[in-house]
Amino acid sequence: MKRRHFAALAAGALAMPLALAQERNTRILVGFPPGGSADVVARLLADRMRVSLAQNVIVDNKPGAAGRLALSELKRSVPDGSTLIFSPSGAMVIHPWLYANLGYDTAKDFTPISLVSTFDFAVTAGPGAPAGDLKTVLAWMKANPSKANYATSGAGTVPHFAGLLLSQAAGVPMTHVAYRGGAPAAQDLIGGQVPLMVDTAVETIEHHRAGKVRILAVTGAQRSKALPDVPTLKESGIDITADAFFGLYGPPGMPPELVQRIDRAVADALRAPEIQERIYNLGLVPAHAGPAELAAVQAAHLKRWEAPIKASGFKAE
């Protein structure tokens, strides 16, 4: 009788940590509205991480201020793994050059956990631009300076400065038109209100496949797996590249063993063929790396964007 009672107690004790883990939530903050590439990939990860971590993992959209509101919340969070953020690189490597007082240091106030994916940008022409390749559209813009506008998902983003680099390298002055997100920018592109858009491929790839717009080039060093027939800028005769990444971060001061546990769950998720296929179809590249590699990639991108941003003279309001 005593043995059975002891065995029941032991089984209950062993079950308690699992039950507690399943009751606990891990929130992955996304500083942008639902439906964009950051939100979609974060939800793909969360679905898989629930299994690996044996606990609830939910995505919590906190849009506003181009991701800065979510990062501010993360900085104030307890470093116990209950609050993380899935962030595009722009918030970590562009904003420090734009804002005099962010309220946080992106290199010191967050814990790098996992590099999740890399991506470049699509240069897309709408019905407001003439038929032809990128060189043809740029020549038309040069001849029609009042129409030489390009749209992005926001001021002070990586696409904003990628478009600026394109303008400078092509020798064609272009006016940046900032929208509150990629979806409204794409709608105005389709409607002919703006002739060109520079942003993540996910914003225009389905419209491109439907024949509503034309992706003329991608900004990476290599062609996109999702767009194998679309040339790079270098193949189009414009000698620049621009890319970015998505990373998972935690609050400052997370214990290394907890960071490693979460990173292993991300790695497991990204090994799944169906997850890789979904990410590729968004025009992104699954590219897992651990905390040290994410920190190094972030530092390299921070340095890379310093000169062009300072040269632009742009300052965020």
Give the pTM. Answer: 0.83
Residues 201-259 have pLDDT tens digits of: 988 999 999 999 999 999 999 999 999 999 999 999 999 999 999 999 999 999 999 99
Q: For residue 9, what pLDDT band results from cuts at 50, 70 and 90?
A: very low
Given CATH 3.40.640.10, say whether it is the number of domain 120-218. no
Domain boundaries, the chain: 24-119+244-312, 120-218
Homologous superfamily of the 24-119+244-312 domain (CATH): Bordetella uptake gene, domain 1 (3.40.190.150)
The answer to whether the CB of 111 falls within 8 A of the CB of 253 is yes
Residues 124-163 have pLDDT tens digits of: 999 999 999 999 999 999 999 999 999 998 888 899 999 9
Domain pair 24-119+244-312 / 120-218, same fold: yes
